[in-house]
Amino acid sequence: MTDPKIAAKQPVGVDLEPGTYWWCACGESQNQPWCDGSHKGSEFSPQKVEIEEAKKVWMCQCKRSESAPFCDGTHKSL
């Protein structure tokens, strides 16, 4: 498997309401951190994110986090 594109070397903080979201795993989406279908035809698939209660979360944009789709600080070593 090839590495995904690094969309950014910092996380993005987003305020989310309860619901289902699709995190971009390929790094190609123009709607980071969310999937816009740019992965089609590649080996990547978006990751489903279920939010139970309204909260702010820090989403990974380097696509290397061990806690994906959430940031774990991996971007600091890139």
Confidence of residue 64 (pLDDT cuts 50, 70, 90): very high
Do 68 and 27 meet the contact criterion of CB atoms below 8 Å apart? Answer: no
In the numeric block, which tokens belong to residue 40?
């089609």
- For residue 1, pLDDT over 90 is answered with no
pLDDT tens track for 2-55:
999 999 999 999 999 999 999 999 999 999 999 999 999 999 999 999 999 999
Within the chain, strands assigned E span: 12-16, 19-23, 47-51, 55-59
